[in-house]
Amino acid sequence: MIKTLASKIYGMVVGSINKKHDENEPIYQCKVPVISVGNLTVGGTGKTPFVQMLTKFFLSKNLKVGIIGRGYKKDLKGEVIVGDGESILATADEGGDEMLLLAQTLKVPVIANEKKYLAAKSMEEKFDIDLIIVDDGFQHRNLHRDIDILLLDRETVENPELIPKGKLREPLDSIERADVICLAGITDLDEEIMKFINPEKIIIKVKPINANPYELGDKTPLKFSKIKEIQESVLPFAGIAKPDRFFNMLEGMNYKFSSTKEFSDHHKYSESDIQKLISLATKAGTKFLATTEKDATKLSEFKDLLDAANITCYVFPIALTIWDGKNPFFKLLNSVIKVKK
């Protein structure tokens, strides 16, 4: 009852904010194209892997990309330049684990700031870029975007309740604002969702793809013989929004494990956490840990501790590929870049 009332109040506040923007409240517009990747929910729908995929597409076109985002749970307030495209300039604690992951894996400028429009302004002023990609930008309407990409997963469509009763940050009718709707882990939408989608909008469907793991501290992909050895027994752990997806991915890749360890999303690891993982691995009869790339951004300082215990931590990249709707989607991306360049 209390959560239902709180959700109604929250919905009224969100509705008031959106109404102001719908009535053309002044917003910041960049000189370069801006593409936003976001969702409707609290928690993971695959935004970070999607941003990685999108950035790689533009880099393959020899375009210079800058990425901005909030830097969730970062310790430093205001602007943090996480990476300049050549060097990493901040830790996960300082700039946020997802922002650090993007800077590490893509080698492009990455700026974290709670006020994303200020991050965009700073990106234009400090770096030579052709476009900006906003990580988790759907709710940040103070910044003009040329393309709004909205990710929907099964939990979003099956539990369409506003927080705190559910996990929606906005009501389902906000889908109308999106230029591209990306379905992650679902193949079709029911009539309740489709009524918010203009037939002219682009719908794409993505699925995860397996990538070879690597050892913590060494990004060289493992050889097949080593993968076969690890597959026999491993202890998976993750501090992400939906760890079951990671564990299920490992099962699908034929990794065997009798137990797992979950941490809260964006968890900041401590020495006691690592000792606990070493103990759990020993109890499970394995010398191998398995985790995500996002978690790995916060684990390098503990490698010596793991080595001393003869425990090796392997990192599993999570990647996406578009399996439906690719042609109209890439046509839209190319048209925006051509118009603005």
Is the pTM here over 0.85, yes or no? Answer: yes
Residues 237 and 302 in one domain: yes
User: Which CATH number fits the domain that encloses residue 240?
Assistant: 3.40.50
Lowest mean pLDDT among 131-145, 155-169, 266-280, 311-325: 155-169
Residue 158 lies in a domain: yes
Residue 117 lies in a domain: no
pLDDT on residue 339: 58
CA–CA distance, 99 with 90 (Å, rounded to integer): 10
pLDDT in tens, 16-32: 777 777 667 779 999 99
Residue-averaged pLDDT of the chain? 92
pLDDT on residue 190: 78
Residues 167 and 289 in one domain: no
pLDDT on residue 224: 92
pLDDT in tens, 203-257: 999 999 888 999 999 999 999 999 999 999 999 999 999 999 999 999 999 999 9
pLDDT on residue 159: 82
CA–CA distance, 193 with 205 (Å, rounded to integer): 15
Structure tokens at 25: 């409240």
CA–CA distance, 199 with 60 (Å, rounded to integer): 30
Residues 279 and 219 in one domain: yes
Domain count, the chain: 2
Residues 147 and 178 in one domain: yes
CA–CA distance, 65 with 147 (Å, rounded to integer): 15
Residue type for position 278:
I
Residues 139 and 261 in one domain: no
pLDDT on residue 210: 84
Residue 44 lies in a domain: yes
Residues 232 and 284 in one domain: yes
CA neighbor of 92 nearest in space, from 107, 109, 104, 108: 104
Residue 326 belongs to what domain range? 2-63+130-208+321-340
Residues 159 and 35 in one domain: yes
**Cβ atoms within 10 A of the Cβ of 223, count?**
10
Residues 330 and 281 in one domain: no
Residues 188 and 223 in one domain: no
More confident residue, 193 or 81: 81
